[in-house]
Amino acid sequence: MNHRTTIIVFTLFLLLTASFWGAAPVAAQQDALTMNPSELEAFMDGMMAAQMTTNHVPGAVVVVVQDGEVFFAKGYGYADLESLTPVDPQTTLFRPGSVSKLFVWTAVMQLVEQGKLSLDADVNEYLDFTIPASFAQPITLKNLMAHTPGFEDSGEGLFKTNPDEVATLEEMLKNHIPARVFPPGEVGAYSNYGTALAGYIVERVSGMPFYAYVEQNIFAPLGMTQATFRQPLPPELAGEMASGYNYVNGGYVQGGFEYVVAYPAGSLSATGLEMAKFMTAHLQNGRYANAQILNEDTAQLMHSQLYAPDPRMDGMAYGFFENTINGQRVISHNGDTLLFHTGLYLIPEQNLGLYISTNATGGASVPDAVAMAFADHYFPAAETAVPTPPSDFATRIPQYTGSYYYARSNFSGYEKFLSLLAPVAVSVDENNHVLVTLEGETRQYVEVEPGLLQGVDDPDREIVLKEDGDGRITLSPPIPFVFIKARWYENPNLHLLILLGGAAIFLFTMLSWFRAFVAGMVKKEKQPMLARLARFTASLFGLAYWLFLLIWLALLSDVNPAFGVPNLFLGTPDWLQSAAALPVLAGILGVAMVGWTAVAWRKRFWSVGTRLFYSFLTVWGLALLWSLHTWNFLL
């Protein structure tokens, strides 16, 4: 995995990787699926062998449940390469990442049943600190479950490798309240903080730590003895934990245990067969064997649609993603740590569940790929012709086209610059297909109704074009990963031109001036003191900017070989403060350059050409400062 991809994968898919599946809900009851066990095993064996080889995944587990029973469970490859321990679905623990969130929402619904929580109440009613009232609308548990609370996102410090560096849930939530950047209920922006906040509310209302609440009220009734939210793992489970790996330079590097700071959102460790019990309970509307973890009507509510970006689309259930795949309504959740990648998929009408988890950084695409192949194999989609766009489609082309960024971004800190590295480009080709390009991968869509896009190769994949009262344009899939159209001053290409062009211009200028200075020393030429000070100021500006770039290049190039991400995201280095000080210094020098420009024109100690060049340099320097301010490097 290259460095650039590493950053983007880490930032955009921390604790969650989700597909863009989605279409109109299916109302009709589906024919029951009949599977042959040996045929299913042969199918899975072929799929997993291909996926694990292609993506460099040493180990995985696959579980299928149907009609209240485990229909298929198998481990693939190795839980530990050093000891060649095979994966066992009964004993090997994996880290399902954000699939943990389903336990948070199940716990919330249990407390709603008991009358201890209201899904429509301001969450501040349950907290011992206050989420600021940035908007008139309060944040509710429904907003948290639909990932529409409006919080910005942050990836820094989400994982730790040293347990001594892990703050308590209370400390993390109180000391790192994210900015509220969207009104609640309006924009889908996936939020780990929001889920952790719900976990803390469970703690506050129940009077026990979240991990203990889950153990008592979910794990114990379901008999999930080999599952835990505790970090580090209890001694009786630690020996069964699968190792996670990163494939680097033709070999696997073993990573350590990942400590999730916002732990309700992603710290679960569990075997494949334990997750089968949880899937079965939800498929049977809260019932597993003789246990009932949710009342039937509560479970049905939890599985129903809570929010959708458009009435014509799927959206969010109460914590589950809602998708339509080949005519089947699926509620699901994906999850990612740095090393483990997981997908849990339920088809309620078929009483069928599928769970896939892998133990390598390269496994991010595996769960969805296997799940989609499973759907194509057992629920093949009917052949459909590519629709023709509406006759007035051309009038909306200017709305569609442009550069976009994820709503799930950081807006108040330096992580905002990651949207520079991962711009989403939207264009329209000669066939009137809308092309959405991210990281070199392009997906084709066609408009089937005004503002509604459908995948050319996958009709279930839909996105809707929306424009709010302020003229802000978004492209929204059913799941909470919305694209926001950049205004001209937010365009990443503009800022890359300013930032990279500035680096080249100031480097060229500094080298040219240094050469002229040396030549002048040899010839014993004298420059006016004011001219030397003006050039010295601009040179210091360029030097400060280049040092800033080099420090950040070093920070982002320092990739942890075991986890595949820059160490910056595992802990803040002390010398990051040096990088933060340099734009401030550049800002002071930039103001001084403005003064020297005025002096140069008034005193005329340079030729007109030199004065014009220095003025140009000053203007570009100010543009650099504006860009650094835009990306929160200069506040």
pLDDT band at 1 (very low <50, low <70, confident <90, very high): very low
Q: What is the mean pLDDT of residues 394-423?
A: 91
pLDDT band at 13 (very low <50, low <70, confident <90, very high): very low
CA dihedral 90, 94, 99, 105 (to 10 degrees): 70
| Average pLDDT of the residues of the chain | 92
pLDDT band at 19 (very low <50, low <70, confident <90, very high): very low
- Asked whether residue 389 carries a pLDDT value surpassing 70, the answer given is yes
User: What pLDDT, on a 0 to 100 scale, did the predictor assign at position 569?
Assistant: 85
- Asked whether residue 278 carries a pLDDT value surpassing 70, the answer given is yes
User: What pLDDT, on a 0 to 100 scale, did the predictor assign at position 578?
Assistant: 77
CA dihedral 316, 319, 321, 327 (to 10 degrees): -80
- Asked whether residue 489 carries a pLDDT value surpassing 60, the answer given is yes
Domain borders along the chain are 3-7+17-378, 393-490, 492-630
| Residue with the two structure tokens 């309970």 | 281
The alpha carbon of residue 26 and the mean position of all alpha carbons in its chain are separated, in whole angstroms, by 28
> Tell me: the pLDDT tens digits for 368-382?
999 999 999 999 988
> Tell me: the pLDDT tens digits for 498-528?
999 999 999 999 999 988 877 766 666 777 8
Does 450 sit behind a cis peptide bond, omega within 30 degrees of 0 on the bond before it? no
Among 180, 398, 142, 151, CA closest to 262: 151
Q: What is the mean pLDDT of residues 342-357?
A: 98
Q: What is the mean pLDDT of residues 598-618?
A: 96
Q: Is 162 exposed, middle or buried (0-12, 13-18, 19+ CB in 10 A)?
A: exposed
One DSSP character per residue, 212-227 reads HHHIIIIIHHHT-TTE
pTM above 0.85, yes or no: yes
CB 441 within 8 A of CB 390: no
User: What pLDDT, on a 0 to 100 scale, did the predictor assign at position 293?
Assistant: 99
User: What pLDDT, on a 0 to 100 scale, did the predictor assign at position 418?
Assistant: 84
The Cα 222–Cα 216 span in angstroms is: 10
Neighbour-count burial for 593-628, b at 16+ CB within 10 Å, e otherwise = beebbeebeeeebbeeeebeebbebbebbebbbebb
- Asked whether residue 10 carries a pLDDT value surpassing 60, the answer given is no
pLDDT band at 248 (very low <50, low <70, confident <90, very high): very high
pLDDT band at 30 (very low <50, low <70, confident <90, very high): low
Q: Token pair for residue 173?
A: 């939530």
> Tell me: the pLDDT tens digits for 45-71?
999 999 999 999 999 999 999 999 999
> Tell me: the pLDDT tens digits for 303-324?
999 999 999 999 999 999 999 9
- Percent of the chain whose predicted confidence (pLDDT) is above 90: 83
Angle at Cα 39 formed by Cα 33 and Cα 41, nearest 5°? 105
Tell which CATH classification among 3.40.710.10, 1.10.3720.10, 2.60.40.10, 3.90.480.10 matches the domain 3-7+17-378: 3.40.710.10
Min mean pLDDT across 106-120, 221-235, 303-317, 379-393 is at 379-393
State the amino acid at position 190 in one-letter form: Y
| Residue with the two structure tokens 């896939």 | 356
